[in-house]
Amino acid sequence: MNETAGRLLCRLAEIPDPGSRGFELEEGAIFLVRRGAVLAAYVNSCPHTGGPLDWVEDQFLDLERKRILCATHGALFRLEDGQCLAGPCKGRGLTPVAITVAEGEVRLAPTKPRTYPQ
């Protein structure tokens, strides 16, 4: 893998519009949400309980497919920025994950290597 390109998650066409898809990475679970021009990635952890948001694989949206839904307690989050709009964690937000989209591929954004003082 080209280190500057970032890790490939999937092709954009593999995420329904509107829809969502989860991923298990070595660093932890994340998910992508897509609706129209919005494509965002978040850590799969509810700010209220710390548990995963989905009960069913790749199901992170409410029935109207307009908001992210925590299946454990019904909290609703805005797709664009992950802010909780309703539920016990109102005012808090999901942890965003930086992604890039190029040539139809969704990738984790490259991270800069850490440098340590000598």
CATH classification of the domain holding 49: 2.102.10.10
In a domain, 103, yes or no: yes
pTM of this structure: 0.88
In a domain, 114, yes or no: no
In a domain, 62, yes or no: yes
pLDDT for the residue 2 = 39
Domain that holds residue 55: 8-108
In a domain, 12, yes or no: yes
Q: Where are the beta strands (DSSP E) in 1-118?
A: 8-11, 19-25, 28-35, 38-43, 67-69, 76-78, 84-86, 99-102, 105-108
65 with 81: CB under 8 angstroms? no
* pLDDT lower than 50: segments of the chain: 1-4
Q: Phi-psi category of 85—alpha, beta or left, where left has phi over 0 and alpha has psi -120 to 50?
A: alpha
In a domain, 43, yes or no: yes
